[in-house]
Structure 1
């Protein structure tokens, strides 16, 4: 049986509109959870308060100030991830024990263009490659499957662009097979 997903609006900033995904277990619309993948990410990572806040700060910063430019996202095959690489010389920074460090919490997402991003889930990355990490490999694989499915939905015009590609339009009952 195919897995199904629904696109759910999350928030609108000056330069970026964020969406997330709700996973649907079957065609009978048995929802596996009452929340989006992004809601689950936040709930599961409240224990990592500073790391989570760092990612939420980047979502706001990208949304209000920069737009979803490629340089602010980690390349994860067809998907992307936040936070940006620590080499980026822009705030917000993540500090641990008073020193600027790299944040190993990953939020996988799908960067559609500079104005539309789909926020998914993730976790603490503990290995060099995400696909081998026991904490994030499932989120990494899911993000890439969903990225392919979203791309297909865009090609089939199940998801359409606004006139200036500043947002997307879709039937609220759209079910995305992945």
Structure 2
């Protein structure tokens, strides 16, 4: 299915050290990150609190340092990664990291204990591939100078609507 999405900055998570964006696909009611929170808050309340706390810390104190992420969760060079989780955690949240000041958080979900890779879970695979495709489309828009980084590298500027996002 082809859709369009909007890059949306999350002011409550962003701060002086970094900006955190998420996406709103088509005319969905909630962003990908809000859906992630809503879908997991009942079963994994403490993990959701921990994820939100870490995102706030990144935005206001540390920036998007590599040690917060499991890198190379996508194709070479696309920046798709997962927010590092604790050894026994149940959730995985996918992101696109743009240096140490900017990330786009997508969706994710509950990772069953029995799986070793995201391809073994249809929801995790879908969320990962959405961000891979999004990264490719953002790169094209940057190459065409439709999207660029702000002078301080903390924000996206330009046309933040991404057309033809393909996902199943």
Residue 55 of structure 1, aligned match among 29, 42, 51: 51
- The one-character-per-residue Cα deviations of 1:64-99 (angstroms, maximum 9, x if unpaired) are 2211122211121131111x254xxxxxxxxxxxxx
Task: Give TM-score, length-normalised by structure 1.
Answer: 0.78
1:65 aligns with 2:61: yes
1:150 aligns with 2:138: yes
Q: In 2, distance between residues paired with 1:16 and 1:105?
A: 23
After the TM superposition, which parts of structure 1 deviate over 4 Å for at least 4 consecutive aligned residues? Answer: none
- Where do 1:20-169 residues align within 5 Å? 20-24=22-26, 31=27, 33-47=28-42, 48-75=44-71, 76-77=73-74, 78=78, 79-82=80-83, 84=84, 86=86, 101-126=87-112, 127-169=115-157
Task: Give TM-score, length-normalised by structure 2.
Answer: 0.83
Instruction: Determine if contact 1:9/1:20 at 8 Å carries over to the other structure.
Output: yes
- The one-character-per-residue Cα deviations of 1:83-121 (angstroms, maximum 9, x if unpaired) are x254xxxxxxxxxxxxxx432301111112211111111
Q: In 2, distance between residues paired with 1:106 and 1:85?
A: 7
Q: In 2, distance between residues paired with 1:175 and 1:131?
A: 25
Secondary structure, aligned partner of 1:175: strand
Unmatched 5+ residue regions in structure 2? none
Q: What's the Cα RMSD here? A: 1.8
Which protein shows a greater Rg?
Answer: 1
- The one-character-per-residue Cα deviations of 1:130-150 (angstroms, maximum 9, x if unpaired) are 122234121112121112222
Partner of 1:10: 10
Figure out how many residues of one structure are paired with residues of the other and give that number.
Answer: 155
Instruction: Determine if contact 2:137/2:162 at 8 Å carries over to the other structure.
Output: no
